Chain A
């Protein structure tokens, strides 16, 4: 288990160094209702030490957790048109965006990082549910496309960590168009022969699930994560019945063949490192084949 030395310890050090105030805070676990000391919760990557419940994790913490030595560089994402529909409900979308940006370290709900996982170069792109419910609009689409094309140019795998309520309604049809758009990005990876791994976290629903989140070579989910196309409330309203226990949870999807595995957050980096290692033998095989072919030719004669 080197998540402790690679990720947790640097994080504790970082916390000790700059964020003393945060140490006094307590968080109530939404699953078991126990109070958890903030510092302990962060050190445990926001997994409840009492019941194992996986709480939502921000993009920065997630990237630090997954990359070796918590080292990564941000991949810049090109700007996209702001508020293309001039959308307004009870509030202006542009005002909602200003508020969301003021609370966030990122300009939108997806952050792209480049680093190493178990020594292998990798691009990891993380969706942050805290930013407008991780909703997918032009900016998330642009970030995903940027991440995929970066992986192609670096000849390395892409890992996406999803967390989203679905399409960003305030960008209307342009949000829907991020589904085919991100799909083209996945096809670019596929045709470049690069692994594409999806890590589904709580919650992943709607247009995100129905596009890039279900097109991975490998699908991993965190325990208990809600994953589906339609949200549970919409389904309940349609069928007018109470939903079965555990419905649309990670374990349910595993049972129904939609996932390869459900992995505890503390073992996620390890799992990714192993999978990436196993999937990136191609260059070795090609190198061996190039040497073997001329030798094989005379014996065929």
Chain B
């Protein structure tokens, strides 16, 4: 069953008629081929129109779509010989951030990413992709290891944000995020980050201060969720669509602001309609950037990464 978003209602109606017609065709000898072709073309045109001018708040919903490919799909589709590595060596294994070694297009890489989980049980297990300090500390451990063995790091960003809880605060949530950013900017191996869903604030930048930051076409990346921003600045959470607009959260905005380096196009109708194609496109882009970064002088590479962030926003 396809899950439709509110703004996809006209698409849903059309596609339901198509499905009905397909069932009718299966049952009898009625020739509906012409009608089906016509309706399919109409649906495609409609999707193209709707997705061609998604508003920031609509993109926010697409970025959070339950069928959007997750970290585990990227691992499954892109990484061979994957070996998951667990634990921060201090307190726990936080599965809101998953990581491990594997091969991307033949190259040994350290892969780290947020996992939101699927289904009620999965979402609870992965805490909806909201990491506690141990998640960031695991990421630090894996990045340091990658650095030691000259293995490039690839991160997949998809989180509503760092977990706001008593336990997380007690164990130093802020310090863990700060150290993770510090680590991203300290390692001397290539670091490529892909914002594939929601780039939620500090929880995102913790594994996102990279040489190259790629972003899926309908992903969002923001200092605060539109809901949180609306409740702080508008004092009304129903102003989230306005906040999404004002915050400039879309890939096109961020490319223009110099915060990301490349937009990875999504299949027609969004990543959730064709997960495998999306995963492959992201893999192609990440692979291309890893190729470009390979063989660079480690010190020069790190200095370039630091300069990029030091200069960010100055030239707007």
Contact = CB atoms under 8 A, between A and B. Distances in A.
Contacts of A85: 246-248
Contacts of A177: 205, 259, 309, 312-313
A85 B247 CA distance: 7
Interface residues on B, range: 35 or more
A186 interface: yes
Interface string B182-222: 10111000000000000001101110010000000000011
B46 interface: no
B300 interface: no
Contacts of A172: 222-223, 246-249
Nearest to B311: A181
Contacts of A159: none
B259 A258 contact: no
Main secondary structure of the interface of B (DSSP, over half): helix
Contact of A207 (B201, B253, B316): B201
A184 B164 contact: no
Contacts, number: 170
Interface in A65-99: 80-81, 84-85, 87-90
A211 interface: yes
Contacts of B310: 145, 181, 184-185
A80 B314 contact: yes
A247 B309 contact: no
B174 interface: yes
A179 B181 contact: yes
A180 B213 CA distance: 13
Interface stretch (A9-17, A31-39, A229-237): A229-237
Interface in B212-253: 221-224, 228-229, 232-234, 242-243, 246-249, 253
Contacts of A174: 257, 259, 312-313, 316
Interface in A22-45: none
Interface residues on A, range: 35 or more
A231 B177 CA distance: 15
B178 to A, nearest CB: 4
A81 to B, nearest CB: 5
A122 interface: no
Contact of B312 (A167, A181, A209): A181
Contacts of B202: 176, 179, 206-207, 210, 229
A86 to B, nearest CB: 9
A212 B209 CA distance: 15
A89 B240 CA distance: 11
Given A84-B313, A145-B310, A214-B172, 17 more contacts: A85-B246, A167-B223, A169-B247, A172-B248, A177-B259, A180-B209, A184-B309, A185-B310, A187-B182, A210-B206, A228-B173, A229-B168, A230-B173, A238-B165, A239-B165, A239-B166, A258-B174
18 contacts: A167-B223, A169-B233, A172-B247, A173-B259, A174-B312, A177-B205, A177-B309, A180-B185, A180-B205, A181-B309, A183-B209, A185-B310, A187-B306, A209-B178, A213-B174, A230-B162, A235-B166, A256-B171
Interface of A: 80-81, 84-85, 87-90, 138, 141-142, 145, 167, 169-177, 179-181, 183-187, 206-207, 209-215, 227-230, 234-235, 238-239, 241, 243-244, 247-248, 256-258
